[in-house]
Amino acid sequence: MDGNVLFAFALTLFAGLATGIGSLLAFFTKRTNTKFLSIALGFSAGVMIYVSLVEIFVKAKDALVLDLGLTNGYWVTIAGFFGGMLLIALIDRLIPAIGNPHEVKSVEDVNAGPTNDEYAKLKKMGMFTALAIAIHNFPEGIATFTSALQDPTLGIAIAIAVAIHNIPEGIAVAVPIYFATGNRKQAFKLSFLSGLAEPVGAIVAYLILMPYLNGIMFGVIFAAVAGIMVFISIDELLPAAREYGEAHLSVYGFMAGMAVMAVSLVLVA
């Protein structure tokens, strides 16, 4: 394995491990701080929706339009986007119902412990978010790795952009898991593992996919990932953020998450 390959893999590993930084931010608050929970979940939803619609969907469309033409490329992008939503919705349907999460609003209820239906819902939400981000990070790992092989300077820029994105994505995984279980190690582990999907993507690209990668494959994967992340945000993150009686704070967190992503995209453009 030559130096360029090792450098490309190191960049991908750096980008993936940034999720661990985000997860650590979830540990500087008390478990019963519902204001922090409301803001953080809203922030996470803002990050995921903005990244999905402004960056990932557009990249998918550009790749597919380039290979399939404007009309066909756009239709395949739309199909991939809603196909991703359908996939995660079907997975959600396979999970047993957890009960009515809207009943839990007070700090006293939050202190009841992780057996509460609300905590179970938060834990499931964290698991789904970890799944969505891992799926998202896998093709990002392939993209970072292959870009770095072709142009190390471009690879560095992409790795930094992905790392910036992965910090709040780490929050998106760690916050619900931590608040559901009170277990810092479990929250950090799941967040950390979701980030490791990026170097795994680099390994797969190097060992298996390198001869077969093309714009159509990248476009369909990215469109599906965008749909998955939007579904997670609307179905899980935003409702959970409002359930704690901090509706305005959840909106402020949502706006802040979108703003952070918007600024990061400009800074690394």
Query: 241: how many CB neighbours lie within 10 A of its CB?
Result: 25
Q: Do the annotations mark residue 102 as ligand-binding?
A: no
Q: Is 228 helix (H, G, I), strand (E, B) or coil?
A: helix
**Integer Cα distance of 188 and 190 in angstroms:** 6
Closest listed residue to residue 20, CA positions, set 152, 229, 194: 194
HSE of 110, CA atoms in CB hemisphere, 13 A:
19
Q: How many CA atoms lie within 13 A of 155 on its CB side?
A: 23
HSE-CB of 101 using CA atoms within 13 angstroms: 22
165 annotated ligand binder: yes
Q: Say how many C-beta atoms besides its own lie within 10 A of residue 2's C-beta.
A: 7
Query: Is 139 exposed, middle or buried (CB count within 10 Å of its CB: 0-12, 13-18, 19+)?
Result: buried
The annotation status of 137 as a binding-site residue, yes or no, is: yes
Confirm whether residue 198 is marked as ligand binding. yes
Was 166 annotated as part of a binding site?
yes
140 is known to lie in a ligand binding site:
yes
| Three-class secondary structure of residue 218 per DSSP | helix
Residues 6+ apart with CB under 8 A from 223: 56, 57, 60, 61, 64, 76, 77, 78, 79, 80, 81, 83, 84
Contacts of 5 by beta carbon, 8 Å cutoff, 6+ apart = 149, 206
Residue 261 and residue 117 in contact, taking contact as beta carbons nearer than 8 Å: no
Residue with the two structure tokens 């935003």: 238
Q: Which residues are annotated as a binding site?
A: 137, 140, 165-166, 169, 198
Q: Which residues are annotated as a binding site for Fe(2+)?
A: 137, 140, 166, 169, 198
Q: Which residues are annotated as a binding site for Zn(2+)?
A: 140, 165, 169
